[in-house]
């Protein structure tokens, strides 16, 4: 079944590693007839925005999704990031395990969505630590 997306003027997306920009003055419609990895601009995390452990994890899963040629490197990075997060916040074990299962099943887009939820949980933990006077 084809996938259809619309891009606003100037909007970008990544399609199987290629950055595509709607350079026109109107919305454009893209139709994909086969399976491709797609991230819309609002889903793309830039390296400079990966400034917390969970955001860094999102960035790594994003790379796994759009750049499968370097999976060995990303897998090693993913494993060390998971260990770091689990050490710092064991309460995040359940969502981490869920994300890891999705990654192992190569369901990277679903893993990205779950990692966004993990980032929200991380933000709450950081807010609680700050309000309790522990700092970061």
**What is the pTM for the complete model shown?**
0.89
Taking only the tens place, the pLDDT of each residue in 3-41 is 999 999 999 999 988 999 999 999 999 999 998 899 999
The verdict on residue 11 lying in a domain is: yes
The verdict on residue 119 lying in a domain is: yes
Q: How many domains does the chain have?
A: 2
Tell whether 54 and 111 lie within a shared domain.
yes
Inter-CA distances, 38 with 34, 64, 122, 135, 136, Å: 12, 12, 26, 38, 35
Taking only the tens place, the pLDDT of each residue in 71-119 is 999 999 999 999 999 999 999 999 999 999 999 999 999 999 999 999 9
The verdict on residue 136 lying in a domain is: no
Tell whether 12 and 57 lie within a shared domain.
no
pLDDT confidence of residue 133: 75
Residue 10 belongs to domain spanning: 3-43
Tell whether 38 and 58 lie within a shared domain.
no
CB 39 within 8 A of CB 17: no
Tell whether 75 and 92 lie within a shared domain.
yes
């Amino acid at each position: 079944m084809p996938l259809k997306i619309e891009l606003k003027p100037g909007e970008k997306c990544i399609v199987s590693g290629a950055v595509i920009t709607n350079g026109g003055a109107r919305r454009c419609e893209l139709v994909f007839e086969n399976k491709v990895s797609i991230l819309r601009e609002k889903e793309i995390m830039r390296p400079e925005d990966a400034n917390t452990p969970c955001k860094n994890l999102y960035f790594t899963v994003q790379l796994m999704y759009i750049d499968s040629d370097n999976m060995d490197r990303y897998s090693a990075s993913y494993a060390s990031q998971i260990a770091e997060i689990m050490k710092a916040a064991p309460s995040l074990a359940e969502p981490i395990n869920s994300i890891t299962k999705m990654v192992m099943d190569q369901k990277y887009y679903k893993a990205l969505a779950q990692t966004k939820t993990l980032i929200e949980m991380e933000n709450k933990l950081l807010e609680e630590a700050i309000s309790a006077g522990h700092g970061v």
